[in-house]
Structure 1
Amino acid sequence: MKGVIFNLLQEVVSAAHGADAWDDILDEAGVSGAYTSLGSYDDEEWETLVETASARLSLSRGELLRWFGQEAMPHLARAYPVFFEGHVSSRSFLAGVNDIIHAEVHKLYAGAACPHLKLRAIDAGGVAMAYTSQRRMCALAQGFTEGAARQFHEVITFEHAACVEKGDSACVFHIGWPSLEAAAND
């Protein structure tokens, strides 16, 4: 996993709970905490940090990943404004994740194993989004999606329709934009 995600977790935890909380998580996890954005780190170290942060913040793994995704979006927007340029909504932002954002991630961070998102239109302006990742962090994908909606000052509905954690072959999300749905019905 690329160091940029570790750095982002540090920023989010420190902003919400203070730098001491992050230091405590590092100490409890038994990791160095010296992550460079371009560095690559073992997925097990990430999972150790997530497990430790979950316990420290009294959240399940899924709750922590979702919270992290939601809170990370403003940090991402400041650090990588180019990823947000040209998008007027979270829907267009999500549609560009694979072709624009993940393509740029691969340029910046050689060897990055990005998740793959496949979107298809469904009823009244919504989308079904299939999420595929070897890391099985669908809660993080949900948090990023919700964080993107907040970044664009939108309200969305989010249904986790299928999940590999529940034995399904893939994770599938149904995402709706009530304001678009209302406009379509007018």
Structure 2
Amino acid sequence: MFDLVYWLVVLSTVVTLAFAWGVFLNQILRGRTERDEEYEKLEERILELMGQFRHMSALRLRMLDKKIEEMKALIKQANSLYSQLCVREAELMGSFSKVETERFESDVKERDAQKVMEEDAIETENSKNELQDSDLSIERKILLMYQEGKDEQQIAKELNMGVGEVSLVLSLFRFRSDSHP
């Protein structure tokens, strides 16, 4: 009987192991099918998203191509308007330069006439002054002004001379007066 119990224990152990392996394998297979289903769903979602992305990017590219064509047309139109503007500007500058040249020439003529008149007036005044001052030499004028108490800078300014010239004349006359008592 001991043998029978022994065999029953062994047999029940083997059946228990077989059952456990069966349950284990069943769980593994069921897990695989569930995971496979999840992978398939995920794969389908990824493919769906990729399709939507392709569709959206194709639309965006078409819109971008359309905008590029519109920009090319606008640039072409702007270039055309710019060339027309340049031509018009050149025409205006041509007419403007003619008018300005005529104005400039008339202004130059007026200025030349005014200069000639001013120079004549100055020459007339100078000749009057020369006639009045011809009686007195430059040296005498310098000495008279110095005796009046004016310094060398004032004398030079009034006579339109350099300060050095006035100093030279004064020093010459001082030398003469010192040597001739």
**What is the TM-score with the length of structure 1 in the denominator?**
0.18
Q: Which has the higher helix share?
A: 2
Structure with greater Cα Rg: 2
**What is the TM-score with the length of structure 2 in the denominator?**
0.19
